[in-house]
Amino acid sequence: MTEILEILKYILPSAVVFAAAYYLLKLFLDNEQKKRQADIKAAGYKIITPIRLQAYERLVLLLERISPESLIMRMHKSEFTALQLQTSLILSIREEFEHNLSQQVYISSQAWEIIRNAKEDMIKLINTAATKLNDNATSIELSQKIFELSVSSDKMLTKSALEYVKNEIRQVM
């Protein structure tokens, strides 16, 4: 029995020192791993943040380019018929949108949905304006009708989408 007590006298303090050293070493290594993960995450943010901001910039540009004022000023030609202008405007909106499809990776799903709805709203506005004209209408008449409908509309989705994107950019910064 005394032999067991004698052995325990040496093993017990050694076990306590070992447990304390193990605990402290584990704590230190866990802390170091958390620091490394935080550094990796920070480095990732340094890379992704400029890319995200660039995506937001491109989408703001998209929304500005498909707004009625900008779109008509850019696409209007006096020799166009209303049908030709309608086709040209819709084609331009779709091309702009398709050109920026990859930007959805860098923004929230809700922001992308709002932008997509703004595009569809603009196409719908153009088509609605075209249906309110007679078959031999000029491009000027279509332009005027589009402006009338956009002014009479309570809330243009391109403007609300632009505001939403700007607010989301502020949250990223």
User: How far is residue 41's CA from residue 102's CA, in Å, rounded to a whole number?
Assistant: 23
Report yes or no on 86 lying in a domain.
Answer: yes
Report yes or no on 37 lying in a domain.
Answer: no
The whole-model pTM stands at 0.73
Report yes or no on 101 lying in a domain.
Answer: yes
Report yes or no on 102 lying in a domain.
Answer: yes
Task: Provide the residue range defining the domain that includes 123.
Answer: 50-172
pLDDT of residue 129: 92
pLDDT of residue 115: 94
31-68 pLDDT, tens digit each: 999 999 988 888 777 888 888 889 999 999 999 999 98
pLDDT of residue 130: 92
pLDDT of residue 24: 94
Alpha carbon separation from 156 to 67, 128, 160 (Å, rounded): 9, 14, 7
**pLDDT beneath 50: ranges in the chain:** none
Q: Residue 165 class from Cβ within 10 Å (0-12 exposed, 13-18 middle, 19+ buried)?
A: buried
Report yes or no on 149 lying in a domain.
Answer: yes
Report yes or no on 134 lying in a domain.
Answer: yes
As given in the structure block, the two tokens for residue 87 are 């086709």
Report yes or no on 44 lying in a domain.
Answer: no
Among residues 85, 94, 82, the alpha carbon closest in space to that of 138 is found at 82
Structural contact between residues 123 and 93, judged by C-beta atoms closer than 8 angstroms: yes
**How many domains does one find in the chain?**
1
Report yes or no on 118 lying in a domain.
Answer: yes
Half-sphere exposure of 64 (CA within 13 A, CB side): 8
pLDDT of residue 154: 63
7-16 pLDDT, tens digit each: 878 888 888 8
pLDDT of residue 8: 79
pLDDT of residue 4: 82
Alpha carbon separation from 139 to 83, 89, 115 (Å, rounded): 8, 11, 27
As given in the structure block, the two tokens for residue 24 are 């402290």
